[in-house]
Structure 1
Amino acid sequence: MNRLILSKALNPLRQTKSQWASVRYSSTQQAEKPVKKMVTYMHPTAPLAKFNNSLSHHLNARGPPRRVLENILRVVDDIKKQNLRLDLGTYNALLTAYSRVREQRSMMRVLEDMEENKVEPNLDSYNIILESLAFVGDVRSQSKIKNEMKEKNIPLTTQTYYQLLNGMCKADELEFALDTLDEMKDTGVAPNLHCYAILIGSCLRLSDANTAFDLLKDAETSGLAVESQPRVYMDVMRAGANGDAADIVNYCWDKAVGVHTLRPDEGTCLNVLRVAAKTGDTKLATDVIRQLSTSGYPYKEHYFTPLMEAFTVKNDLKSAFNVLDIMRVSGIPPSMRATLPIRKQLDRNVDAIDKAYYLLEEMKKEDKTVDISAFNVIVGACADAKDIERTIATYREADSLGVTPNVDTYNAVLEACIQTRMKGMGTVVVDEMKKAGINPNLETYAKMISLACTQRDYEDAFTYLEEMKSYDIVPPEMCYTNLAKKLGYEKDPRFHMVLEEMETFGYKVTPRIRRMWTFENASE
């Protein structure tokens, strides 16, 4: 509660005869006391003035709200013992103390007691109650208080409406709140920036980007100093990002980050990056990556992937390839996962794959570095198209493009061999990998097992499985699943051994896997 309001409410020189009544309210709900002779004036030396000064002191003192309430109730009990009537200032002190501990029911009982004792609540009284009700989103009780104020011709101020809006937003009654904002304007009460901010915050929670932006523009056109609370732009930007509203995101990013130099958190930046990627906004994506670095976040692979995706949306594969080189220079070696936007763009289209390959040749002629990841994504795209000839031909062009194949290159070729069941070619690739001094990784072994399972002679699959385990590596679940499927199809009794080993390593053997054996035997 504002201390100036409290001081005003508790000033003993402002009390009148109509503010005195019999004392019926106390913390212990004691019986009604006989009414004493009414004091006709309030002098600083009057008994109640002393008590109200004490109340003001307790309310302004630091300490836990519960302890403050106890002190306030103790003073009220002292007033009661002297058979003095509580006045408006005393009641407002009680309301304030109960408000701080969020005891809304007690506040409503105080209001009832004021009515019974003929003490009229003033604007401060109602605002205190409305603020407490807003905290818990009790819209129904707030509406009753509002109607009571209108019946008593107590004008609703900006602060009053703010508490009403706050309660509605807490209850996620956004439409009701917007109607109240219109009512506020119609009655000539100008909304302040806090009113707009609380509504925009509700829009953010409800992911209503368009309403949030409309409110922001309304605040700006109303002449409010939105720049004094630039966080409003940040909230609207977050709402816009949640709703994939690119125009809203761009406008608020320029205001919040460009003009007011706010630093959005990593999660917000990633959400904005997602929108930039989806809409092909390479400028915004670049700005966000730069801001992440400025804010002290070290570069990560998933910062750059949206930028690549944005370039692919613009059908600018050459720039997307350049991003891979930028990543490596920035100390982030791109993985095959990082190139997924490019690979998805090629999507088994051999014409698009060939055009992408020609871009790499063009980059080489321009003396630009062709990153190995860019080369691998072309090889992988050929494998996705199940075109073994194009895959091998591309793989053989590594030297001409100035790249040295790595384990991802060989794994991509192995994938093409799996798709076309060409074990002989797969064996050649594995031999070349060994000659190049490149050690197979987990994915390599998994692909070799999958390739072996495409053949009538699948004994090599067990060899690769044992080789993996010799390195103290637990084979991936996919290896066992592929092998179990093959053994079930071939009616190989080692099927049960594979299932037992799966369970030993903690993999779940599903009914579908078990039926692989049952189905084959039942069909004999």
Structure 2
Amino acid sequence: MEAAEHGRYTEALDIAAQMKTYKIQPDVTTYVALINAAAYHRMWLDAWAILDDMIAVGLHPNTAVFNALIKAQNACTSDYLWQVLKKMDELQIAPDTTTFRLIIVRLTSTHQMELAIQFYHTMKTYKVVPDVFTAMALIGYVAHAGYPRLALDLIADFEAHSLRRLDHSFFMPCLIASAEALYLDGVITCWKQIVHVFNMHPGEGVCLAVIDTAARNGHPDLATDALRVLRTLGIEWKEHHFAPLIEAFCRQMQLKEAIRVLDIMRGEGIEPIFETASALLEVLTSTELIDSVWEITDEILKEGKKVDNIVLQILISASMKLGDLQRAIGAYKSLAEYGATADITVFNSLLQGCVAASHRDLGNLLLDDMKAAQVKPDKDTYETFILLCLTQDDYEDAFFYLEEMKSAGFHPGYNVYSKITRKCLLADDFRYKIALKEMEEMGHEPRLDLKKLVRRKEENKDPSDKLVQAIADTQPQEPLTTIDGAALRFIETGGIEGDAQLPKEHI
């Protein structure tokens, strides 16, 4: 027995042989120990031989014998496992908790989830209650496989048929799987158990996944609670922690609260960027909604607070997204009333609107305003202004600003060269060849549609009107870009819980 229990298989066999020599009858316990020793050394065939010997001497195997035999089959394919179960059925030996645990662990290790769940439910037929190890193996595997809803159902089923309550180690894989699947109900269930029942704190990665789920599902209370846990963990709040909270408020159309998050960020020394409040831009899909946000900004002013510049940028961009250039310009002109100034994002958005409206004169005025405000143009500014020049019959300035762009150290994109080439083709301007050559020098490969247009031009097979139509047909279409109550308490407490001519000069 001692030799078998310590894995000394050869010694155990020698002792068993001596027992036969001295006519000492082995009992069931002896055979269980021998099969376990064979299983330890992955001697699956020997394990079957030991079972046959046991039956030959007139001993009837019990469940423990077959549990050891199942262990011995771990080195084999699943077919051998089914042979063990078939033998148990022939001898009318009922499986116990250990039997099912060995089977389910084996099936999950070989990624046979459906069979594992089937055996789990078969336990009820035998009136066998699964132990915690069986539950951990199955629930953990199902959660890691990306089925959080099923994993939580298994937890509920286990607790319904067992006196034991499962701890946080069962809920953590389910929380991670639920957050990865953006499954809100699962995240809330697991979060409450882990954080509020077991008083455990998930790591930063899990908290970020929870915040993201809260954002996508419009649950600001959950996002706020996750922010609280982050602070408890000693993790410094960053911009990417607050952007999902703003999204959660926006999905609930709690726009004032979403705007106030920006104030909290600045109070924490965090500088928001335009993308932080991009969710606000996404929900402003009508002039009525834009007007409602203007009303909110007026309320904030009446409260003696400053309206964040990001909000005003969002309002201008939202107007541009609706194609309402007039409204956007009106918002731009009212910036001073709110103590705000236009930055490069605002100017670029307005210039994109000028491109859509082919309004060169307005673009000139905006360019003058940029110079007066000492706002330095970026790559988007140059590219947008070049495209604006190309909307006019006289597009000579496009080449001027292309050179200005390169002199400023910016690398013109493919779209700029493509639009210049198309404009030159329409105007029968030989400089399309120069644009194509420079495009390739800049590392841009002309796309198939542009190559076809150039080939038609050079082969001179299409009359002018057909070429114009071909260019129009291949012109890429571009959009006009120009814990209940916790979140409210978080907000309320400030985060504790024309005719003008364009001069030939540098932008």
Aligned positions of 1:42-441 closer than 5 A: 89=33, 92-98=36-42, 107-115=43-51, 126-127=66-67, 130-131=70-71, 138-227=77-166, 229-295=167-233, 297-347=235-285, 349-441=286-378
Superposition deviation, residue 39 in structure 1: 3.0
Deviation per residue, 1:44-83 (Å, 9 max, x gap) = xxxxxxxxxxxxxxxxxxxxxxxxxxxxxxxxxxxxxxxx
SS at match of 1:40: coil
Deviation per residue, 1:21-46 (Å, 9 max, x gap) = 9xxxxxxxxxxxxxx97233499xxx
Superposition deviation, residue 494 in structure 1: 2.6
Where in structure 2 are there 5+ consecutive unaligned residues?
Answer: 464-507
Q: Give distance in 1, aligned partners of 2:235 and 2:73.
A: 41
Superposition deviation, residue 95 in structure 1: 2.1
Q: Give distance in 1, aligned partners of 2:75 and 2:271.
A: 50
Q: Give distance in 1, aligned partners of 2:88 and 2:14.
A: 21
Superposition deviation, residue 511 in structure 1: 0.8
Superposition deviation, residue 89 in structure 1: 4.2
Does the 8 Å CA contact 2:39/2:71 hold for their aligned counterparts? no
Deviation per residue, 1:261-288 (Å, 9 max, x gap) = 4443444334323331232111001122
Equivalent AA in structure 1 for residue 390 of structure 2: C
Aligned positions of 1:9-24 closer than 5 A: 20=17
* 1:214–1:406 distance in 2 versus 1, CA, 3 Å: same
Length, aligned pairs only:
454
Q: Give distance in 1, aligned partners of 2:3 and 2:216.
A: 52
SS at match of 1:249: helix
Equivalent AA in structure 1 for residue 255 of structure 2: L
Farther-moved stretch of structure 1 (391-400 vs 157-166):
157-166
SS at match of 1:418: helix
Does the 8 Å CA contact 1:133/1:167 hold for their aligned counterparts? no
Equivalent residue, structure 2, for 1:75: none
Equivalent residue, structure 2, for 1:503: 440
Q: Give distance in 1, aligned partners of 2:241 and 2:48.
A: 59
Q: TM-score, normalised by structure 1?
A: 0.76
Q: Give distance in 2, aligned partners of 1:522 and 1:490.
A: 17
Q: TM-score, normalised by structure 2?
A: 0.79
Does the 8 Å CA contact 1:131/1:163 hold for their aligned counterparts? yes
Equivalent AA in structure 1 for residue 40 of structure 2: T
Match of 1:39 among 22, 32, 37: 22
Superposition deviation, residue 257 in structure 1: 2.4
Q: Give distance in 2, aligned partners of 1:5 and 1:369.
A: 81
Q: Give distance in 2, aligned partners of 1:215 and 1:298.
A: 37
Farther-moved stretch of structure 1 (466-475 vs 3-12):
3-12
* 1:523–1:134 distance in 2 versus 1, CA, 3 Å: farther
* 1:129–1:485 distance in 2 versus 1, CA, 3 Å: farther
Equivalent residue, structure 2, for 1:466: 403
Deviation per residue, 1:441-497 (Å, 9 max, x gap) = 222222212222222222222222222222333223333333333334334333233
Q: Give distance in 1, aligned partners of 2:75 and 2:454.
A: 63
Match of 1:450 among 371, 384, 387: 387
* 1:177–1:116 distance in 2 versus 1, CA, 3 Å: closer
* 1:191–1:456 distance in 2 versus 1, CA, 3 Å: same
Equivalent residue, structure 1, for 2:476: none
Farther-moved stretch of structure 1 (205-214 vs 378-387):
205-214
Does the 8 Å CA contact 1:503/1:509 hold for their aligned counterparts? yes
Q: Give distance in 1, aligned partners of 2:388 and 2:335.
A: 24
Deviation per residue, 1:167-198 (Å, 9 max, x gap) = 22234433322221122122122101222222
SS at match of 1:405: coil
Equivalent AA in structure 1 for residue 212 of structure 2: R
Does the 8 Å CA contact 1:9/1:88 hold for their aligned counterparts? no
Equivalent AA in structure 1 for residue 261 of structure 2: V
Equivalent AA in structure 1 for residue 168 of structure 2: P
Superposition deviation, residue 123 in structure 1: 5.5
* 1:4–1:291 distance in 2 versus 1, CA, 3 Å: farther
SS at match of 2:21: coil
- Kindly, what percent of the aligned residue pairs are identical? 28
* 1:490–1:146 distance in 2 versus 1, CA, 3 Å: farther
* 1:435–1:289 distance in 2 versus 1, CA, 3 Å: same
Superposition deviation, residue 381 in structure 1: 0.8
Superposition deviation, residue 385 in structure 1: 1.5
SS at match of 2:41: helix
Where in structure 1 are there 5+ consecutive unaligned residues?
Answer: 22-35, 44-85, 99-106
* 1:215–1:514 distance in 2 versus 1, CA, 3 Å: same
* 1:146–1:442 distance in 2 versus 1, CA, 3 Å: same
* 1:244–1:495 distance in 2 versus 1, CA, 3 Å: same
Q: Give distance in 1, aligned partners of 2:374 and 2:5.
A: 83
Q: Give distance in 1, aligned partners of 2:338 and 2:304.
A: 10
Does the 8 Å CA contact 2:9/2:38 hold for their aligned counterparts? no
* 1:13–1:122 distance in 2 versus 1, CA, 3 Å: farther
Does the 8 Å CA contact 1:95/1:125 hold for their aligned counterparts? no
SS at match of 1:191: coil
Deviation per residue, 1:7-34 (Å, 9 max, x gap) = 38879999999x549xxxxxxxxxxxxx
Q: Give distance in 2, aligned partners of 1:114 and 1:169.
A: 28
